[in-house]
Amino acid sequence: MAYPNSNQPVFNAVPPAVVALAFAIFAVEVLLMVGSYGVIGGPEAIGWRLEAIQRFSFFSPALQWMIETGNWPLEHMQRFVTYPFVHTGFVHVAFVLVFLLAIGKMVGDVFGNLAVIIIFFACGIFGALIYGGLVGDTRPLIGGFPSVYGLIGAYTFLLWVRFKSMGENEWQAFTLIGFLMGIQLFFGVFFEVGWDWVAEIAGFAFGFVLTPALVPGAFRRFLDRLRQR
């Protein structure tokens, strides 16, 4: 693909919504990382990451408590949208950013900035709900993978439509998610891993089914069909 101006900065080619999400995730990690080394914040900053996990990660017991009591305080509701911005460390956040920038660009180029924001947060919320409702693991859910997997679901939908329109095997579209799940299975066999993959698969599935509604003009066509009836 040729670009009008090959000298433009790399980030100019990435949709602003993707850049904003990546910057927010990276900024949080930098703050927590430099705090852990005592560069800023004094001695108390060493525990900022642990405090961030306690305050902003998603906890299944919190969801169960809200369902049982009928109380939905902001303190716990915010966790659905804040946990994707807290990570265990630099390696964790680096992998999230790589997928966010790469897949987010492709999704954003087709559907636009608003769609990227909707997919990112909606899939993160859905992933947390499935994680809390099905698994009930007491360990916190943190990191942007459930949201990023939602973008992978959107990208998979694009490939699925493309392969189908070309008369090719549409199941090829699921190669990426199959590869990622294979890696998850490998680590699950040889290492002790948590149940985060449940939230990630849920995010992927929701991203795949949500994407058709975000196709430009989809809502207008839906209204037209209602009027015809």
What digits encode the pLDDT tens for the residues 158-176?
Answer: 999 888 888 888 888 888 8
Q: Which two tokens stand for residue 116?
A: 């990227």
Provide the CA 189 distance to its chain's centre, in angstroms: 25
Tell me if 2 is assigned to some domain: no
Please state, in angstroms and rounded to a whole number, the distance separating the CA atoms of residues 46 and 146.
Answer: 27
Count of domains in the chain?
1
Please state, in angstroms and rounded to a whole number, the distance separating the CA atoms of residues 229 and 217.
Answer: 19
Mean pLDDT for the stretch of residues 100-116: 93
Tell me if 1 is assigned to some domain: no
Q: Write the CATH number for 118.
A: 1.20.1540.10
Tell me if 143 is assigned to some domain: yes
Query: Percent of the chain at pLDDT above 70?
Result: 84
> Cα angle vertex 36, ends 32, 37, to 5°?
125
Tens of pLDDT, residues 131-154: 998 887 788 999 999 999 999 999
Tell me if 5 is assigned to some domain: no
Domain that holds residue 187: 12-228
Tell me if 4 is assigned to some domain: no
Tens of pLDDT, residues 71-101: 999 999 999 999 999 999 999 999 999 999 9
Please state, in angstroms and rounded to a whole number, the distance separating the CA atoms of residues 8 and 17.
Answer: 18
Tell me if 7 is assigned to some domain: no
Tell me if 6 is assigned to some domain: no
Q: Which residues contact 15 (CB under 8 A, 6 or more apart)?
A: 104, 105, 108, 109, 112, 113, 116
Residue pair 153/147 in contact by the 8 Å Cβ criterion? no
Tell me if 192 is assigned to some domain: yes
C-alpha Rg value of the chain to the nearest Å: 19
pLDDT of res. 171:
83
